[in-house]
Amino acid sequence: MKIRVLGSGAGGGFPQWNCNCNNCQRLRHNNMNGKARTQSSIAVSSDNINWLLINASPDIRAQLEAFPAIQPKEGLRDTGIKAILLIDSQIDHTTGLLMLREGKPLDIYCSEMVKQDLTSGFPVFTMLSHYCTVNHHPIPIDGSSFTIPAIADLRFYTQALKSKAPPYSPHRYDPHDGDNIGVIIEQISTGKKVFYSPGLGEIEPHVMDAMQTVDCLLVDGTFWTNDEMVSLGISQKRARDIGHLPQSGEGGMIEVLNGVQARKILIHINNTNPILDDDSEQRKLLDAAGIEVAYDGLEIDL
């Protein structure tokens, strides 16, 4: 199985277009040992030809242009993307669908809650119906498995995670199972598994089970501290308030991942997070804990 990190940043990417925080300011002026990042998305394949796109960020066009394996190879109009899986209906994970409107009908796998959001509060599916149309495929949210016909040798296990729906969702303040999911991807022929969850607000028992039973983790790396945005004067909301488990502190991601034997990689990293500085003390703490930080273009072979 091959996994390509198309984008490793949180909403807004890094540097964020309107942000002058310490990280963004230093990166723009080449005063920081770090990398620019687009918004979070990955692609996965078992044959390096047919790819599943997981989430479609607003940066999707640039991400695809930077990835030759997924680019057209046959016919006048072509793509290596055979299907799309959405883990939620957030803007930074779904807006890129509009950039794919020139293609054939899009085969999109998502929960019923995500489908509802994308036909109501943010009607992307409705808009696409005037261009390429959408073939919606419902997915389980109880941990059971399914396969995707065009993606050979891969099996997917999807399970609901505790989270909030986006602000535009009709049930923003009435959470439902399926607003956010985690996915285990298994290569059938080898048994190798990866767990992908860029938004984790709580380590539920089934999340810990997933972490303990896979070969690689790509999990929430949004914030370093719970009050990161508050301390910078950017927001009054804390990391846990918006569904993200910070890395540091009691019960944080570093503590959670201690003892997990899988390869551990953080993804969906906010522009304010000090781990974006490769020379920071925070990165040294992650290194000591055996935790990696994803970057755009990272390729993982399992």
Domain boundaries along the sequence of the chain: 2-301
Alpha helices in 198-280 (DSSP H): 205-213, 228-231, 253-257
Q: Tell me, what's the pLDDT at 229?
A: 86
Q: How far apart are the first and last CA of the chain?
A: 5
Q: CA 120 to CA 169: how far, in whole Å?
A: 8
Q: CA 244 to CA 70: how far, in whole Å?
A: 30
Q: CA 184 to CA 194: how far, in whole Å?
A: 6
Q: What are phi and psi of 84, to 5 degrees?
A: -130, 135
Q: CA 220 to CA 273: how far, in whole Å?
A: 12
CB 21 within 8 A of CB 224: no
Q: Tell me, what's the pLDDT at 198?
A: 95
Q: Tell me, what's the pLDDT at 189?
A: 98
Per-residue pLDDT of the chain (302 residues; tens, 9 = 90+): 999 999 999 999 999 999 999 999 999 999 999 999 999 999 999 999 999 999 999 999 999 999 999 999 888 889 999 999 999 999 999 999 999 999 789 999 999 999 999 999 999 999 999 999 999 999 999 999 999 999 999 999 999 998 878 999 998 888 899 999 999 999 999 999 999 999 998 999 999 999 999 999 999 999 999 989 888 888 888 888 888 999 999 999 999 999 899 999 999 999 999 999 999 999 999 999 999 999 999 999 99
Q: C-alpha angle 10/114/70, rounded to 5°?
A: 60
Q: Tell me, what's the pLDDT at 40?
A: 96
The CA-based diameter of the chain, rounded to the nearest angstrom, is 55
Q: CA 152 to CA 7: how far, in whole Å?
A: 24
* CATH number attached to the domain at 2-301: 3.60.15.10
CB 174 within 8 A of CB 195: no
